[in-house]
Amino acid sequence: MKKQQRLIMRTIVLLLLLAAVGYTIYSNFFTEKERVKVGSTAPDFVLTDLSGKEHRLSDYRGKGVFLNFWGTWCKPCEKEMPYINSQYGVYKKQGVEVLAVNVGEPKLSVQKFADRFGLTFPIMIDREDQVMNAYDVDRLPATFLIDKNGKVKKIITGTMTEEMVKQYMESIKP
């Protein structure tokens, strides 16, 4: 009698585990994940910058947002950061904000990088890759141009020249 009860319990536990594994596989492979694309509303997020200030994307409605994903080890990112900083100095007064999202590196490394290049725009660290995953970023650098209404106007992957940065910031001026 006890052996039969143990067998029933083990069978139930096994069925529950199989159901959980089946659901996980189904939800990861067969449900359509909404990709961020041109024309879609940019997913909202809240991240804290290096100085401890919180930034919520939706708080920037009414402004153009130059959302840049980057890493300190990324050579193309390193090349374009001075261009972004330079143009930020020009376009900030015209209603364009830069939000730089680092892909989960230690704060000290990110701060040293920012200091080395004299970066003046907000830099946040996406510690758990939640924002990076929400935007479906798989290559760096990746930049999302967001208009004053929160819509994605353009997605850029790869290095930008200073002229490109200027044109892109110009295109999202409110």
Q: Where are the domains of the chain?
A: 1-31, 46-171
| Number of Cα atoms under 13 Å in the Cβ half of residue 97 | 20
Predicted confidence (pLDDT) per residue in 53-62, tens digit: 999 999 999 9
pTM for this model (two decimals): 0.79
Query: How many C-beta atoms surround the C-beta of residue 116 within 10 A?
Result: 11
Cβ proximity of 118 and 85 under 8 Å: yes
**What is the number of other CB atoms lying within 10 angstroms of the CB of residue 68?**
25
Alpha helices by DSSP H, the chain: 2-29, 75-91, 107-117, 130-134, 162-171
Query: Looking at the predicted structure, is the pLDDT value of residue 99 above 70?
Result: yes
What is the average pLDDT score of the chain?
90
CA–CA distance, 70 with 20 (Å, rounded to integer) = 35
| b/e burial code for range 90-109 (CB count within 10 A of at least 16 → b) | ebeeeebbbbbbbbebeeee
pLDDT tens across 12-35, in order? 888 887 776 766 666 555 544 457
Using a 10 angstrom Cβ sphere, with 0-12 exposed, 13-18 middle and 19 or more buried, the burial of residue 57 is buried
pLDDT above 90 coverage of the chain, percent: 70
Residue 146 has pLDDT above 80, yes or no: yes
Angle at 65 between CA 48 and CA 33, to 5 degrees: 80
* Fold of the CATH domain 46-171: Glutaredoxin (3.40.30)
